[in-house]
Structure 1
Amino acid sequence: MVGATVRTLDPDRPIARAVAVRGDRIVALDDDAVAMRSSTTEVVDLAGATVTPGLVDGHLHALFGVTAFAGADLSGCRDLDDLRTALAGALPGKDGWVTGFGLDHNVFGGAPITNQVLEEALPGAPLVIVLYDGHSSLASDEALRRAGVTGPRRFEQRAEIVCDTAGRPTGLLLEHAAMETVRGVVPPMEHAELHKRLLEVMDGMATTGLTGGVMMDAEGDALDVLAAVEDAADLPIRLRVMPWCMPEDDLAAIDALQGRHGRSWAVGGVKFFIDGTVEGGTAWLGHADCHGQGADAFWRDPAAYTRAVRHFAADRVQTATHAIGDAGVRHVVESLAGVDTGGVRHRVEHLETLPLADVRRVVGAGLVASMQPSHTGYARADGTDEWSTRLGRERAARAWPCRDVRDAGGTLVLGSDWPIASYDAREVLAFAQLRRRPGTVDAPITPDQALTGLMALEGMTTHAALADGTERTSGRVAVGHRADLTAFAVDPVVAPADELAAAPVRLTVSSGRITHRTDSR
């Protein structure tokens, strides 16, 4: 690769002009790289592009996104009239099922979320919608009937089939076990279609500069699906897979998955949940939200979570815990306090509202903070959105404390949480700097938490490598490192963030393979 400015993020050699790759490794830079040319060398002239280490999405759900976020895209709905119109045009699938995804809680304007609007739009239809947070869904009466859901149930995890005062389901299903009661009876996607969609999504990720990602789910036959897809084609991005550990799960079975791998994916870690979401009322907060909810952990016995997470820590298996609320984050820190991690960096995911003192506790404990700047796009600076009103002004003012983590000297990994937000890596980088949706004049969310362009880039490169324990072989453009490279049409460190969000990616290289390429003109 020639004709580029290479931001290596290597303090010993911060800028280079040429890069040579053989196999999956970087073998030379600058004049040494040019001197390696032969008649069989493919030379890529990047015509002034800026090359960085390959971008890694620190938190995504590849298979969950493809399978659960299917059907009608409802993310554009702003009120109930929009929703009725969108549902009226939705096409039924197998056995008459209608599915949708991406619905914003704010569509209900603060009123209780029920299936009344579904019955108005498509009376009698088996219909299920996954709300944008991925932790709640809304099912029609016919969908509930087909699933045999007639009233409340108790689950090992803190999930809920929401019912009215008479004990009748309202259609709202909170958290995974409750959602699965209906999802489990929806006809599954055909394997050929699933494989096709997964490759299409990953191709799309590569076009935005992604070379790898941490896949935070591997439920059911997910690993078999990855293996089958890779039998037919190379995966466009490399995946590190972290299967879920739920309160009801067998720890030995999860242990047995560790190390399973393909060419471009490998199981390495475990994903926990200590709480849910603010909008769903299931985030674990130090005191209840404005609806009187959010005072409980996802694990009915938090001590059982502590025992489970310490089990994997003792085996030197990395854990990542979904912890949105302040009480949830504190419990993760306390659970790992004093544990001999053997150098493994355990992770806390999301940290959506956290006082500075607790940020410093996370950093002081050596934990990795993994955050998703794009999620600020679901809040409003005036505090009128569901996330902000549930938390109240004081806690909303602690929103997504990215800069606090960096200023405290912490490791900060950035990601999208796709399908909860767009997988476009350029948007992640832009949101991190703007604290608002790129290309808009929206007021920013807690602008004091904005990152610099360099900090944002580090969150998807060097800090991602630190979190994985692979900093000696990845995350920088250096000889001997894995050949993960992203070439931008603009310099992502200094370009205006709004411009970066829409700038072309000229080239993406994952483990030495060109996975995306455009004409440089």
Structure 2
Amino acid sequence: MTLPSTLYRNGRFFSAAAPCAAAMLVRDGRIAWMGASADAPTADAVVDLGGALVTPAFVDAHVHATDTGLAADGLDLSGVRSAGQLLAAVAAFAQTRAPDAVVHGHGWDESTWADQTPPDADELGRVAGGRRVYLSQASVHSALASRALLAACPGIEATGGYDASGWLREHAHHAVRAVALGSLTPAQREAAQRSALRLAASRGVASVHECAGPGTSSEQDLASVLALSGQGLPRVLGYWGELGGAQRAKDLGAVGAAGDLYADGALGSRTASVGTPYADGGGCGEAFVSAEQAGAHLLECIELGVQGGFHAIGDAAIASVLDGFAIAAQAVGVERVRAGRHRIEHVELADRAMIARMVEFGVVASVQPVFDALWGGPDRMYAQRLGVDRALASNPIGAMHATGVALAFGSDAPVTPLDPWAAVVAAAAPRNPVFRMGVRAAFAASTRGGWRAVGIDDAGELAPGAQATFAVWDTPAGLDGGLPALLPGPDGDVPARPVCRRTVLSGETIYEE
């Protein structure tokens, strides 16, 4: 489809190439010209921006579209603060669902409860009228399941991570999750994905990295969301997280065998692989990938020309994965490893030596700054799990940036909301001020960084010749250095957040208020 050329005028443009521009011409999906409104060339259509700010559109480098859509349209448990509140929410929501449906809910976080004991499988089944219930914890690395859902998973009692209470982790969680998501019809799944992608577009996000794989979603789920890519919605770039699955990733249309390829679990469920036992429960979590396996996976990806990568949160898991990078580099050379822009997701407990190795191997860190905003600092969930010192050392995103690690910011939605400005703020004002980075650098990681993380280097900036992928914003708090004012001033007042008015992907408007 050929789009009409469009002149956007009477705006303010965040552009290093044309910092004084007030107008921009878009033709054939690219920026053809930028300059003063009085000098603007003719176009098929004209959009008066009314003084609004135009920036590169955001890229969310880690999402789960189906879960995000289900959470947005369904049972949001992020606000419950007790087992009783959770049960009441399930009871009310279950009445809106058919007797044979699965009740999907997400976002409960027991670390915010005075009594951190969740309801058991029998209580869930009772309030849900016997329905199957699947309630993913905020980290999506554990879930509560009703007795009816457990019964739909024969042999689950012998699976790692099973607990008779119905609070399941890792392999047992993957089993019930597969049943819960498998209960969706193709139409329901597509509706949830569309909902998530429309929400992303309304937040100024023009592209998302869908992180799929065994235990996370399914091949059908990935195929469904990839089919929606760019169809009046954000561009979807898929990852298939399966060890030794490089060829499968190519066959599925994914850009890499990476994303949620689990080297470990999550801090919230005490399954991230850590070198020092958890402060509030003992044990060192779960390790799923050895250095040798990581190295072999990377070599397979290099041979087939796809990105490789891993989910690694705990320091022990990150160390094993980086040892795998060293094995691959010894086999094919450091430069060939670096050329692949391979990824590690989350990277929450990395020390200076690990960060230096990431620079050495050209690793892209796909990170979620809002994790720190929600759970970091001396008095939140990470401090419960790790102790205050380790909590304050977590999510060293600013240190990665200062050392030269390539960054791409994401939400891991629905783990945190699709709110890219929140990620910028969280990175610029982290719980530990030692890890601060500038707003401009954080914005770059949320925009250009996401494109570069998938090998696309001609997007993420406003310049003639670049892809015309941008967002238009009302900025009620004004501007600071060309971007919206985001950080509290000396009086402590929090500025009003920008409001998206339009999102454009390669010249096509995918959202307009």
Shorter-normalised TM-score: what interval?
0.7 to 0.9
Aligned match of 2:238: 241
**Residue of 345, 349, 353 corresponding to 2:349:** 353
Aligned to 1:17: 22
Mapping of 1:144-163 within 5 angstroms? 144-149=150-155, 151-153=157-159, 160-163=160-163
Matches of 2:267 and 2:400, distance apart in 1: 21
Q: For 2:483, which of 484, 493, 500 is the aligned residue?
A: 493
Q: CA 1:332–1:141 in 2, change beyond 3 Å: closer, same or farther?
A: same
Matches of 2:339 and 2:469, distance apart in 1 = 24
Q: Which amino acid aligns with 2:46?
A: V
1:515 aligns with 2:510: yes
Alpha-carbon distance between aligned partners in 2 of 1:295 and 1:131, rounded to the nearest angstrom: 17
Distance 2:29 2:399 in 1: 36
Partner of 1:221: 220
- Whether the 8 Å contact between 1:105 and 1:279 is mirrored in structure 2 is no
Q: Which residue pairs with 2:359 in the alignment?
A: 363
1:267 is displaced (CA, Å) by 3.7
Letter in 1 for 2:175: T
Is the CA contact 2:294–2:325 (under 8 Å) kept in the aligned structure 1? no
Instruction: Provide Cα deviations, 1:247-273, integer angstroms capped at 9, x if missing partner.
Output: xx655333433xx3xxxxx64553322
Distance 2:156 2:227 in 1: 38
Return the letter of the residue paired with 1:225: S
State the one-letter code of the partner of 2:12: T
| CA spacing shift, 1:37–1:504, aligned 2, 3 Å | same
The alignment status of 1:391 with 2:411, answered yes or no, reads no
**Residue 48 of structure 2: SS of its match in structure 1?**
coil
Deviations 1:149-198 (A, max 9, x none): 46222xxxxxx3333xxxxx2212212x4223223434622333332332
- String of CA shifts for 1:41-96, please: whole Å, max 9, x gaps: 21112122221112111111213433588742111111222212212212243515
Alignment of 1:139 onto 2:139: no
**1:33 and 1:131 mapped to 2: Cα distance?**
55
Q: Superposition RMSD on alpha carbons, in Å?
A: 2.7
In structure 2, distance between residues paired with 1:415 and 1:47: 30
Aligned residue among 333, 350, 372 for 1:376: 372
Partners of 1:484 and 1:244 lie apart in 2 by 28
Matched residues, number: 479
Deviation of 1:20 after TM superposition, in Å, equals 0.8
Q: TM-score, normalised by structure 1?
A: 0.84
Residue 101 (1) aligns with residue 106 (2): yes
**Alpha carbons of 1:33 and 1:79: their partners in 2 closer, same or farther (altered >3 Å)?**
farther
**Paired residue type of 2:105:** G
Q: For residue 62 of structure 2, what is the aligned residue in structure 1?
A: 59
Seen in structure 2, the aligned counterparts of structure 1 residues 467 and 183 have a Cα distance that, compared at 3 Å, is: closer
Contact 1:316 1:341 survives alignment (8 Å): no
Indicate the SS of the match to 2:306.
coil
Query: Counterpart in 1 of 2:167?
Result: 172
**Aligned mates of 1:9, 1:468 — CA distance in 2:** 23
Are the aligned partners of 1:426 and 1:500 in contact in 2 as well (CA < 8 Å)? Answer: no
Of residues 451, 459, 463, the one that matches 2:449 is: 463
2:429 aligns with 434
Does the CA-based 8 Å contact 1:20-1:33 persist in structure 2? no
Contact 1:270 1:317 in 2 (8 A): no
TM-score relative to the length of structure 2: 0.85
Alignment of 1:205-354 (within 5 A): 205-217=200-212, 219-226=218-225, 229=228, 234-246=231-243, 250-257=245-252, 260=253, 267-271=255-259, 272-290=261-279, 291-299=281-289, 301-337=290-326, 338=329, 339=333, 340-341=336-337, 343-354=339-350
**CA deviation string 1:407-432 (max 9, x = no partner):** 11222211111111101222222222
The separation in 2 between residues aligned to 1:244 and 1:131, in whole angstroms, is: 21
Q: CA distance change for structure 1 residues 380 and 208 in 2, over 3 Å: closer, same or farther? A: same
Identity fraction in percent? 26
Q: SS where residue 298 of structure 1 aligns?
A: coil
Displacement after TM superposition at 1:497 (Å): 3.5
Matched, 1:447 2:433: yes
Cα distance in 2 for partners of 1:446, 1:251 equals 38
Question: After alignment, is 184-193 or 75-84 more displaced?
Answer: 184-193
> Are the equivalent residues in 2 in contact too, given 1:72–1:90 (CA < 8 A)?
yes
Post-superposition Cα deviations, 1:456-497, rounded to whole Å, max 9, x if no partner, equal 2111123223323322x1121111111111122224735134
Aligned CA distance change for structure 1 residues 79 and 380 (closer, same or farther; 3 Å): farther
Shift of 1:145: 2.0
Partner Cα distance (1:210, 1:330) in 2: 32
Alpha-carbon deviations, 1:211-258, whole Å to 9, x = none? Answer: 11211126221343236546xx81411111111214xx655333433x
**In the alignment, structure 1 residue 5 sits paired with structure 2 residue 8:** no
Instruction: Indicate conservation of the 8 Å contact 2:298/2:309, yes or no.
Output: no
Aligned AA for 2:262? F
1-structure distance, mates of 2:262, 2:38 = 46
Distance between the aligned counterparts of 1:107 and 1:90, measured in 2?
Answer: 22
Q: Alpha-carbon deviations, 1:358-401, whole Å to 9, x = none?
A: 22332233211221111124315342x33321111221111211
Contact 2:125 2:148 in 1 (8 A): no
Equivalent-residue separation in structure 2 for 1:126 and 1:196 (angstroms): 21
- Give 2:80's aligned amino acid: C
**Residues 1:26 and 1:500: Cα distance change in structure 2 (over 3 Å):** farther
| Residue 323 to residue 375, structure 1, CA distance change in 2 (3 Å) | same
For 1:180, give the aligned amino acid: H
In the aligned structure 1, how far is the partner of 2:444 from the partner of 2:59? 10
SS of 1:147's equivalent? coil
* Residue number in structure 1 paired with 2:41: 36
How does 1:478-489 map onto structure 2 within 5 Å? Answer: 478-489=463-474
1:278: Cα distance to partner? 0.8
The AA in structure 1 aligned to 2:177 is R
